[in-house]
Amino acid sequence: MQESPHTEPSRSKLHIVEALLFGSDEPLTLKQIVSIISSSEDSGLRMRITEDEILQHVRDLNAQYVQTGRAFRIIQVAGGYQFATMPEYADWLGKMVKEKAKRKLSQSALETLSVIAYKQPVTKPEIEAIRGVGADYVIGSLLERGLITIVGRAATPGRPLLYGTTQEFLKHFGINDLADLPKPREIEEIMREPGFELEKELMRRMGKSEADIEDEEGKTVIGEDGIIREVPQKNSPASGQESDEGSRDDE
């Protein structure tokens, strides 16, 4: 006997939730999933589902992934849910990401993004005062990437634009809320440590192990293109040959 759309088994809803999360290139909120499942131009595809049901389906799916030893899980990020690979596969993923190095954020972009994340809403003059360099180019780049957005204007002379981070920022760094940002010290103190933490983070993203990072600490430099290179040793033929190729605060 053919089942009515209104008596679809819970297992079918589970598979629909799984398919939606798998097919989405961004986190889906519980409300979005409810809206997709419960509304359709084809009445035969409409189903009633609650947010609690979706949460249970996510738990059941993750339980299946654990039981079958899958390399991924459904995680909560940026206020929604999304598939993510397990940490133990980070080395292999890092090698894949290494091939896409041009998409990485440069040190200047990371520094500017850090200022905005910790100080938002913040104006361009305030960003430039903290970093000590112009920020026009890098702000434009971050806007294009969707990592920051204009959130208003400051009530000061000239009414400069105010910038803040976006949901894409949360997704990019794998955090669920701005409250999850590390707060060991004020952003000015972080900026006074020239790239140390940024260097380690970039090396992690390029697939290097913690042992490699410790070994290379202080022996590398991050270029404006975001690529990690070895620092020329003293008395090395290459030492002193690099020149400043421009003052543009490039990405």
Nearest to 203 by CA among 113, 98, 89, 85: 98
CATH number at 142 reads: 1.10.10.10
pLDDT at res. 86: 93
Instruction: For residues 106 and 224, state if they share a domain.
Output: yes
The pLDDT confidence band at residue 67, using thresholds 50, 70 and 90, is very high
Last residue of a domain, one of 58, 85, 112: 85
Return mean pLDDT, the chain.
75
pLDDT value at 41 more than 80: no
- Which one is predicted more confidently, 61 or 6? 61
- The answer to the question of residue 246 being in a domain is no
pLDDT value at 116 more than 70: yes
pLDDT value at 122 more than 50: yes
* Domains: count for the chain: 2
Q: What is the DSSP letter of 163?
A: E
Nearest to 141 by CA among 170, 176, 173, 116: 116
Instruction: For residues 49 and 125, state if they share a domain.
Output: no
User: Which helix (DSSP H) or strand (DSSP E) does residue 50 occupy?
Assistant: none
- The answer to the question of residue 244 being in a domain is no
Nearest to 205 by CA among 113, 101, 117, 110: 101
Q: Cβ of 5: how many Cβ atoms within 10 Å?
A: 15
pLDDT at res. 208: 57
Cα 238 from Cα 230, distance rounded (Å): 11
Query: Which residue segment(s) compose the domain that 195 sits in?
Result: 101-230
Q: pLDDT by residue (tens digit) across 131-187?
A: 888 888 999 989 988 899 999 998 888 899 999 999 988 887 778 888 877 664 544
Lowest mean pLDDT of 100-114, 198-212, 234-248, name the range: 234-248
User: Residue 164 corresponds to which amino acid?
Assistant: G
User: Residue 114 corresponds to which amino acid?
Assistant: S
Two structure tokens written together for 135: 């920020």
pLDDT at res. 201: 53
pLDDT value at 232 more than 90: no
Instruction: Give the CA dihedral 30, 183, 110, 91, nearest 10 degrees.
Output: -70
Instruction: For residues 186 and 78, state if they share a domain.
Output: no
Lowest mean pLDDT of 44-48, 144-148, 149-153, 232-236, name the range: 232-236
The pLDDT confidence band at residue 229, using thresholds 50, 70 and 90, is very low
Instruction: For residues 110 and 78, state if they share a domain.
Output: no
